[in-house]
């Protein structure tokens, strides 16, 4: 079993193939974090806690004669509040008697085979079809208790031995009669007493999501958060603590990913003793949760991973766990459909005839699926009206959705449809009938964004309406795919049917309502594939991937801009989850001109599809060739190991990445030049993850190289690639396929 408890030393040891995590119980029941990192042979790491008497760091009353013990200096596993730890805390509350104090001590524990599950929240599946076996996963539950206020915190750990992943969550229970109001309820805390880390996080904005940012952790508190009602374009709920010498391929790195799609908060503090603490969970801004007697609050799950093989090693741990244990298993071996979306081809300006022409041409190009985007419902001729009115606009589509879907099917194509369920326009039948269904403060005009308001997803009647109206549309035609959008940040968070004392629950209940609606629709339509979207990549997180096997990575389809967006996304999320399309040139977002080949290579490193008017282009043969290549490399790109091939010398010249088969039998190397010059330098990369003892044949030329040569000596994109015109275009792109030979 991957979890062991040493009764004599009172130490828990959680082991995976390549990591070890230790927790200890001290003499007065404080739960200490002892160690996380490379295996230490299950040696008791208690010796690392060298406590000493520190001025102005007070002592617990029950150990007051021993001044070298303080909440303020102990490395802890889940922290207290208002009892002497002055660093960032895991929990904040107020009891019915007005006290803010919470002093949690060890009460009991249990070790179980298999993975715990969560109610109403997404979680890493312990068994996902035939992909993950229960015997590889164990659960540790440790219950902490404050006996004065009768509060219990159950810390749950799922240990995926072969995946090198540990999951964590906290379930907080009022076990007494006195009411308790939670003002902060974190999913996890962790202390690193001896660390010199950089923080890596993924900031951005709309059309520029998940940009890699690395900064030293100094004596300060760093916050990475969102309070936008979604995980956001601006700060992804995923951070990395990296040894300051760590690179893409070397060094120790620790990942912390939150399975949540709403307001989140990561706090990282380096204290005066150079200990680093990380606390993560729901953002406590405007949050409070009243717990009556016997009631529980479950915090979102965290996915923890460690690698001593640098950032690429960490990324592949996350890619595997998301592909195999977060995304539904039924999609694992299913090729993503090569789809075409009409948005950039038509925007709101379409009718039956225009859509059918797009479908007809797309079918000739062997595109698998047609997705009809915004504008098919209500009085939706622009973004000022119609959201919430989920019935067909028959002025545009006189034959309705069924006729369009049937036409696509008759051409050998599947059909998909766009929805934005959580939003409403004031100019809609739904708002005129139910104005109270929108989030809106009493007596105050709401903030308007994109001419729309946000529905109160905490209400079951709103969820029921959406389920019934969307189901009616899905029942009306052969619709196999839904693009689920969310095009504004949330403000004016106030529910008209909730009392004063529970308004602090609404932001979290909003997300729970969205998860519930997704679950109901997938239960009702088990063959339906849902693509997540939020103004592009505003809700690209592991929580949404539990329901949606792919997410639209960004509304920015410019391939040069997409290089950094998709690269940033790749640190935590696999290529098979990244929605990516070939669009028009000049690009609609940036105006940049790029070659069709470059657009194809970048989009193929995602789910792949098209977002342009195929009736107005002369690239038919190129499209067919791109689709053929995507099908050829699909398994390699979506199931192989992904490596960023980067260093400080080439980062401004080009972006390169590779996919290597799990058995190292083949590799696909992609490269796009970002800075075109006269008298151009030759792009050069060192490959990663090959079999050093294997010989590899370059498919394009027939040349042969040893794995050692390609990894240690590297590969230059010259000769064949220059002769075949790779440098003739603006932003040239190259692709090399290496096949291992016995």
Q: Which of 621, 636, 651 is the last residue of a domain?
A: 636
Range of weakest confidence among 111-115, 123-127, 152-156, 675-679: 675-679
607 assigned to some structural domain: yes
Give the number of domains in the chain: 2
CB atoms within 10 A of CB 146: 24
503 assigned to some structural domain: no
66-70 LR contacts (CB < 8 Å, sep 24+): 69/26, 69/28
What is the rounded CA–CA span in Å between residue 329 and residue 576? 13
- The DSSP bridge partners found for residue 13 are 4, 22
670 assigned to some structural domain: no
Instruction: Provide the terminal-to-terminal Cα distance of the chain, rounded to the nearest Å.
Output: 37
Active site residues: 485, 555
**282 plus 413 within the same structural domain:** no
The predicted pLDDT at position 308 comes to 98
Domain of residue 385: give its range: 336-421+460-492+527-636
Token readout for 610 is 């098209």
- pLDDT tens by residue, 149-176: 999 999 999 999 999 999 999 999 999 9
Could you give the percent of the chain with pLDDT greater than 90?
A: 89
- pLDDT tens by residue, 62-72: 888 888 888 89
**Tokens 């396929």 sit on residue:** 737
413 assigned to some structural domain: yes
Strand, coil or helix: 494: coil
**348 plus 246 within the same structural domain:** no
- Phi then psi for residue 555, to 5 deg, are -70, -10
The predicted pLDDT at position 133 comes to 54
- What mean pLDDT is predicted for residues 289-310? 98
Outline where DSSP puts E strands in 356-468. 369-372, 414-419, 423-424, 453-454
**150 plus 197 within the same structural domain:** yes
**314 plus 355 within the same structural domain:** no
Could you give the percent of the chain with pLDDT greater than 70?
A: 99
**207 plus 316 within the same structural domain:** yes
Token readout for 722 is 């220059």
**256 plus 355 within the same structural domain:** no
- 389 burial level (CB within 10 Å; 0-12, 13-18, 19+): buried
Question: Residue 134 has what DSSP assignment?
Answer: G
What CATH code is carried by the domain that includes residue 62? 2.70.98.60
Q: Which of 276, 309, 329 is the last residue of a domain?
A: 329
- What mean pLDDT is predicted for residues 697-712? 96
**546 plus 567 within the same structural domain:** yes
| Residues 6 or more apart whose Cβ sits within 8 Å of residue 226 | 232, 234, 235, 237, 262, 263, 264, 265, 283
The predicted pLDDT at position 727 comes to 64
**357 plus 220 within the same structural domain:** no
Nearest residue to 233 (alpha-carbon basis) of 538, 473, 610: 538
132 has pLDDT over 60: no
What is the rounded CA–CA span in Å between residue 610 and residue 541? 23
**296 plus 395 within the same structural domain:** no
**351 plus 377 within the same structural domain:** yes
- The DSSP bridge partners found for residue 531 are 483, 550
Instruction: For the full predicted model, state whether its pTM sits above 0.75.
Output: yes
């Amino acid at each position: 079993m991957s979890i062991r408890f040493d009764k004599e030393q009172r130490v828990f040891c959680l082991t995976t193939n390549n990591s070890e995590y230790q927790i200890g119980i001290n003499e007065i029941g404080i739960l200490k974090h002892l160690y996380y990192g490379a295996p230490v042979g299950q040696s008791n790491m208690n010796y690392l806690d060298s406590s000493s008497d520190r001025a102005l760091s007070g002592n617990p009353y029950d150990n007051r004669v021993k001044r070298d013990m303080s909440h303020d200096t102990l490395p802890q596993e889940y922290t207290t509040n208002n009892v002497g730890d002055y660093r960032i805390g895991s929990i904040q509350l107020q009891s019915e008697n007005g006290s803010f104090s919470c002093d949690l001590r060890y009460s009991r524990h249990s070790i179980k085979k298999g993975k715990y599950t969560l109610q109403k929240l997404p979680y890493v599946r312990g068994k996902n079809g035939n992909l993950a076996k229960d015997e590889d996963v164990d659960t540790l539950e440790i219950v902490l208790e404050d006996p004065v206020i009768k509060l219990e915190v159950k810390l749950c750990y799922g240990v995926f031995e072969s995946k090198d992943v540990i999951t964590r969550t906290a379930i907080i229970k009022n076990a007494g009669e006195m009411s308790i109001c939670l003002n902060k309820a974190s999913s996890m805390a962790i202390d690193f007493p001896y660390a010199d880390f950089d923080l890596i996080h993924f900031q951005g904005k709309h059309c520029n999501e998940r940009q890699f940012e690395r900064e030293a952790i100094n004596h300060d508190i760093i916050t990475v958060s969102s309070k936008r009602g979604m995980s956001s374009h601006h700060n992804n709920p995923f951070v990395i603590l990296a040894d300051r010498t760590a690179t893409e391929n070397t060094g120790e790195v620790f990942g912390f990913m939150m399975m949540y799609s709403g307001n989140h908060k990561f706090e990282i503090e380096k204290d005066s003793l150079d200990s680093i603490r990380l606390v993560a969970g729901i953002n406590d801004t405007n949050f409070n949760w009243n717990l009556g007697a016997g009631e529980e609050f479950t915090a979102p799950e965290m996915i923890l991973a460690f690698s001593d093989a640098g950032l690429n090693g960490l990324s592949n741990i996350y890619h595997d766990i998301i592909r195999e244990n977060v995304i539904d298993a039924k999609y694992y071996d299913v090729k993503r459909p090569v789809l075409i979306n009409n948005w950039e081809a038509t925007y709101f300006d379409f009718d039956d005839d225009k859509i059918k022409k797009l479908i007809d041409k797309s079918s000739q190009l062997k595109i698998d699926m047609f997705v009809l985007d915004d504008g098919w419902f209500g009085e939706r001729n622009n973004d000022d009206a119609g959201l919430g009115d989920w019935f067909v606009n028959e002025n545009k589509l006189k034959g309705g959705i069924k006729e369009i879907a049937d036409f696509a099917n008759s051409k050998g194509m599947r059909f998909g449809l766009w929805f934005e369920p959580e939003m409403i326009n004031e100019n809609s039948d739904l708002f005129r009938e139910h104005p109270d269904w929108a989030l809106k403060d009493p007596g105050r005009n709401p903030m308007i964004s994109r001419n729309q308001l946000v529905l109160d997803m905490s209400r079951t009647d709103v969820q029921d309406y959406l389920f019934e109206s969307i189901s009616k549309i899905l029942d009306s035609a052969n619709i196999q795919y839904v693009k689920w959008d969310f095009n504004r940040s949330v403000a004016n968070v106030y529910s008209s049917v909730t009392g004063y004392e529970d308004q602090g629950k609404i932001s979290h209940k909003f997300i729970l309502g969205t998860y519930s609606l997704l679950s109901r629709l997938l239960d009702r339509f088990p063959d339906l594939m849902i693509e997540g979207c939020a103004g592009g990549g505003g809700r690209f997180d592991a929580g949404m991937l539990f329901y949606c096997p792919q997410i639209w990575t960004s509304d920015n389809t410019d391939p040069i801009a997409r290089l950094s967006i998709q690269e940033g996304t790749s640190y935590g999320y696999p290529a098979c989850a990244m929605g990516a399309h070939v669009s028009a040139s000049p690009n609609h977002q940036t105006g940049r001109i790029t070659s069709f080949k470059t657009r194809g290579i970048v989009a193929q490193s995602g789910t792949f599809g098209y977002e342009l008017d195929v009736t107005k282009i002369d690239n038919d043969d190129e499209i067919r060739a791109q689709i053929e290549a995507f099908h050829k490399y699909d398994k390699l790109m979506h199931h192989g190991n992904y490596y960023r091939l980067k260093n400080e010398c080439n980062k401004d010249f080009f972006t390169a990445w590779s996919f290597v088969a799990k058995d190292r039998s083949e590799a696909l190397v992609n490269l796009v030049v970002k800075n075109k010059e006269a008298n151009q330098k030759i792009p050069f990369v060192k490959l990663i993850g090959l079999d050093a003892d294997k010989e590899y044949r370059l498919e394009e030329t027939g040349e042969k190289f040893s794995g050692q040569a390609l990894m240690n000596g590297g590969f230059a994109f010259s000769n064949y690639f220059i002769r075949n015109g790779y440098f003739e275009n603006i932003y040239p792109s190259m692709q090399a396929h290496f096949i291992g030979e016995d």
